[in-house]
Structure 1
Amino acid sequence: MGELILIRHGQTEWSLSGQHTGRTDIPLTEAGEAAAKSLAPRLAQRYLVAVFSSPLSRA
């Protein structure tokens, strides 16, 4: 059996302040971008069959 990898949206100014972003397309903070980039080496070592992503820029 395969594995399912779930990754949440990255940090935004609204998530820092505790606001609910819902479907609002808020950009990532610098920390959010750094966290997303840090996933690349870990995901590059995996064989991915399918990737599903939100169309929002914070995804």
Structure 2
Amino acid sequence: MDDTQLLRYSRHILLSELGVDAQQRFGESHALIVGIGGLGNPVAQFLAAAGVGTLTLIDADRVDLT
């Protein structure tokens, strides 16, 4: 974990339940989210903010420019 990551996740690392080892595992983890609607969108944001290393997002909907 580099200095930037230590600074970014310092509040998570301070938690006695987590620490540096758990945050390192978050960074090495991969999460798959199927459906990026009302629930999938905030879940993706929270996982990214928690430091999950790779997120794969799958949604069958089309995006329109409206």
TM-score normalized with structure 1 length: 0.36
Structure number with the higher strand fraction is 2
* Higher relative contact order (CA closer than 8 Å, sequence separation 6+): 1
- More helix per residue: 1 or 2? 2
Larger radius of gyration: 2
